[in-house]
Amino acid sequence: MPFYDSPVDGARLHYVDHGPTTGPVAVFVSSAYLGYEMWEYQMLPLAEAGYRCVALDRRGHGRSEDTWLGYDLDTLADDLQGLLDHLDLRGVTLIGHSVGTAEVVRCLTRHGTARVDRVALVSGVSPGIVRSPGVPDGIDPALVRADEAAFRRDRAGWFTASADDFFAVGLPGIEVTEAYTRYLIDRCLVATPRAALGIRAVVASLDLTAELPGVAVPVLVVHGTHDTSAPLALTGERIARMVPDGTLKVYENAGHGLFATHAERLTEDLREFLDAASADSGLAQAA
């Protein structure tokens, strides 16, 4: 089972490395509470098709070490950069979901693009969803505090009550089984209470409005029309406008969990994006 040590504090972090060791490289960064397993409908078919697919369990999630400290965005971004350095990856396409998009953006603005060629931000909470000077139309912080109180009282109940909205159940074309929903909730509960609350704190204070214009690589933004966790107008549309080279793809009737409900479409869009990175690399080498 592959692990590496965080460059920040030596925390033992788990990752997976699927597919060939050559060719296009995709590095997946997961949503809050979830580990690499959330990407099974993307990583497995892409790896089978010849793409190298790497994914990280952030600290306190999945099989990674449970630490008390290190849930600030800078440390999480440093952990991600540490994985790229550990595997000596280059020409990478970073793919983040939800709060994972913030880790991706901070990794780029903090460490540069020497190892990264492209970025895909899926259902992102970036640039921020809670009201702040940079996000004046965000969610009322009082509502966020009340939601956290409910989360602290009963995490299992909170995940169960949120599941239908997460997947946009009831909208045309949305199919997700009760068994899969239960499985994903169980995986969310693997994240330690400390880690879960630490990630919630990142989201509550997130404001990347000053950083997104500095993301100097092509960015694919994928977002659903019915994402209640990260409303499209507040996040996906803003990201696509703020980065220098952004492409927005909107999935009709999709919620936050489109990696499952729109799995084949997302996988195909990521494949196309990875192929474009390979084409760009070939042109650069020829030049």
pLDDT in tens, 113-142: 999 999 999 999 999 999 999 999 999 999
| Positions marked active-site | 98, 227, 256
Domain assignment present for 89: yes
Considering the entire predicted model, what is its pTM?
A: 0.96
Domain assignment present for 287: no
* Token code pair at residue 120: 């895909």
**Which parts of the chain register pLDDT below 50?**
286-287
- Please enumerate, as own/partner, the contacts of 109-113 that have beta carbons within 8 Å and a separation of 24 or more: 109/211, 109/214, 109/215, 110/74, 110/77, 110/78, 110/81, 111/77, 111/78, 111/81, 113/216, 113/217
Domain assignment present for 160: yes
Q: What is the pLDDT of residue 277?
A: 74
Domain assignment present for 209: yes
Domain ranges, residue 163: 3-282
* Token code pair at residue 206: 């997130």
Tell me the pairing of strands 116-122 and 92-97: parallel
Number of domains in the chain: 1
Domain CATH number, residue 168? 3.40.50.1820
Q: What is the pLDDT of residue 22?
A: 84
Q: For the packed helices 263-286 and 40-48, what is the interaxial angle rounded to 10 degrees?
A: 50
Domain assignment present for 272: yes
Rounded distance, CA 40 to CA 125, Å? Answer: 21
